[in-house]
Amino acid sequence: MPNLQLACTGAPGIAAAIHFQGRDANGQPAPVFGTATIDDYASAFVTYLGSDGFQVVPKIAIAPGQPPKTVTVTLSPVDSASQEPLPPVLWSTDLVGAAQVAVAVVVTNGPVAVSDSGATDPGSATVSFSLA
C-alpha cells in the first residue's frame, strides 16, 4: 500500500489511523495478538486504540521545504490458536510539511496510437510540463 502523507504542522490531534484484522484461510475473523513497534520514536509514536485500530502520532513539526521523514510501524502478529508467529506487517507513513502533501498524477486518457501527430523535436531529452 502506498504511504499516507501526514502534514505535520504541530497542530494537536493530527494522526494517521489504520485498522487491521486477523483472518483465517476462509476470510473469517480470527484472533491475533502481538506487538507494534515504530522505527523512529523520536519523530512519532504508535498507539493501539483497541477495536483493531492503530494511530501514528507525530511528535515533531515539519516546516515547508524541509525533507519529509518516513516512519515505519512493524506489526509482529501471533496466531492465538497455534501460538505461532505470523509474517510481519509493515505500515509506513511519510511525515511532511504542510505544502508537501502529495498530489496524485492519474491517467485520464490513453495511451493510444495516433497517426496525425504534428509535434516537433524539442531538441532535448527533457521537456517541461504543467498539469492542471
How many Cβ atoms are within 10 Å of 55's Cβ, its own excluded? Answer: 17
Q: pTM, whole model, 2 decimals?
A: 0.71
Q: pLDDT at position 131, please?
A: 63
Grid cell listed for 20: 487491521
Mean pLDDT calculated for residue range 41-58: 88
Mean pLDDT calculated for residue range 97-105: 70
Determine phi and psi for 50, rounding to 5 degrees: 80, 175
Angle at 39 between CA 89 and CA 74, to 5 degrees: 10
- State the Cα–Cα distance between residues 128 and 132, nearest whole angstrom: 14
Q: Is 6 helix (H, G, I), strand (E, B) or coil?
A: strand
Q: Does residue 110 surpass a pLDDT of 80? A: no
Q: Does residue 132 surpass a pLDDT of 80? A: no
Domain boundaries along the sequence of the chain: 4-100
- State the Cα–Cα distance between residues 55 and 63, nearest whole angstrom: 22
CATH fit for domain 4-100, picks 1.10.287, 2.60.200, 2.60.40, 3.30.1490: 2.60.40
